[in-house]
Amino acid sequence: MLFSTAAFAIFMAIVFTVYWLMPHKYRWIVILTANAWFYISYDVRYLAVILITMVASFLCAILIDREREENKKKTIMITGVITALSLLFVFKYLNFALYTVSKVLNRISIPVHETTLKLIMPVGISFYTFMAVGYLVDVYRGKTEPVRHFGKYAIFVSFFPNVSSGPIERAGHFIPQIDKEKLFDYDSVVYGARLLMLGMIKKIVIADMMVKYVDEVFNKVPEHHGICFAWATILYTFEIYCDFSGYSDMAIGVARMLGFELTGNFRQPYLASSIKEFWGRWHISLSTWFRDYVYIPLGGNRCKKARRDLNLLITFLLSGLWHGASWTFVLWGGIHGVAQVIENRIKEAIKLDREKEKNLPGPVKLMLTILTFCIVSYAWMFFRANSISEAFYIVRSMFTDLDLQGAMTQMTMSDKSVIKTSAAILLLLVFDHFNGKGDLLLKMNKMKAPVRWVIYIASAILVIALKTHNTEIQEFIYFKF
């Protein structure tokens, strides 16, 4: 059930009404029921996998809390983590592992038939698995008390706004909100509805407009050449941003309408002036998860520079692998890891600390922002490519033909399409720039009511018109991960 469908609108209207009419002590039942209905709307078979993850992590957390011997506590924690990650491995990575092993064996003259298992990957498994793993580690570290009410723990793992594609919540932030009595707050609900509409505009108006041109190139790589690859990569850079940040806006908005606060996931990432800053602005819940549960346990930056660089590379390679069972994702993560290692070394060589970086002259900061954007966009090309061989074909031929008009023809883009996509990108960047200086959705409260309603109605008409025009349903990109 996609957020951008009529089915979800009906579902949300029912959940919203019943939830706020229900006495506080029964609201957890409404949310849990909604979670189950939302999740099985994709495929009832997915339910078994998420239930195993819930039960295993729930019981292990309680056992960790009861155990007094440190080694046994650690063993229980590791058991729970392995259980959750094993399910993720089987459904997401097993076929990739079998394929890779068979390729390696065939290369060394050991004939092996390629084996592929017919497995369905449950929606959101990468997200709720990391939430369960983070919960177990936090309970083991003493940062979070174990939840002793299974129904409320199940709400945390399966909360319908973020179960499909995040944000990746922490138990210490989310679970206390379940028991906290909430009063209906009109302003908060309206703000949530604005976020929901903003997310729909990003997804339906911008991302879904760009996807057909991006797919035309990346799904038919051998049929294209030259600078059309560069333009398709730039379009994908904004497609994936609007698609994923649009989903996050919708998720946070829907949660806000029910009185829940989810972790912010994006802060104008393409305005970052360094790779490190980009990762402080892009998919924040994932980048902080890898920081807290991978990078810091590896030693973080509390060790020699060479080891710190290795820790960064490992973290980014794993982050790439998290996104998908393909070497293109691993390479994408590797590009970001290498870029950040080089970036750190340059800053150390010229003694550029955080304070000096903040006070860089405007033109210098602009140049660094453009450079960062180019590196990030280049990496997205590997992320989107269907295979390593196609990615390197794109690299070799990207600038062999600089005929822009010919490129547009290859991509089946008219002059009107070029203007529309360029205008969408420009408006998005302008919105992000001013939104970074102060929440524009919150500032709408200062507008007169007629002006606000004109914006609401115009936005709704735009979304509905484009949704009706584009009859093909476009899933959110991060559903695949």
* Active site residues per annotation: 323
Angle ∠(30,32,38) on CA atoms, nearest 5? 100
Left, alpha or beta for 360 (phi > 0: left; psi -120 to 50: alpha)?
beta
Of 481, 13, 11, 10, residue with least CA distance to 247: 481
Q: What is the 3-state secondary structure (H, E, C) of the chain?
A: CCCCCHHHHHHHHHHHHHHHHCCHHHHHHHHHHHHHHHHHCCCCCHHHHHHHHHHHHHHHHHHHHHCCCHHHHHHHHHHHHHHHHHHHHHHHHHHHHHHHHHHHHHHCCCCCCCCCCCCCCCCCHHHHHHHHHHHHHHHHHCCCCCCCCHHHHHHHHHCCCCCCCCCCCCHHHHHHHHHCCCCCCHHHHHHHHHHHHHHHHHHHHHHHHHHHHHHHHHCCHHHCCCCHHHHHHHHHHHHHHHHHHHHHHHHHHHHHHCCCCCCCCCCCHHHCCCHHHHHCCCCHHHHHHHHHHHHCCCCCCCCCHHHHHHHHHHHHHHHHHHHCCCHHHHHHHHHHHHHHHHHHHHHHHCCCCHHHHHCCCHHHHHHHHHHHHHHHHHHHHHHHCCCHHHHHHHHHHCCCCCCHHHHHHHCCCCHHHHHHHHHHHHHHHHHHHHHHHCCHHHHHHHCCHHHHHHHHHHHHHHHHHHHHHCCCCCCCHHHHC
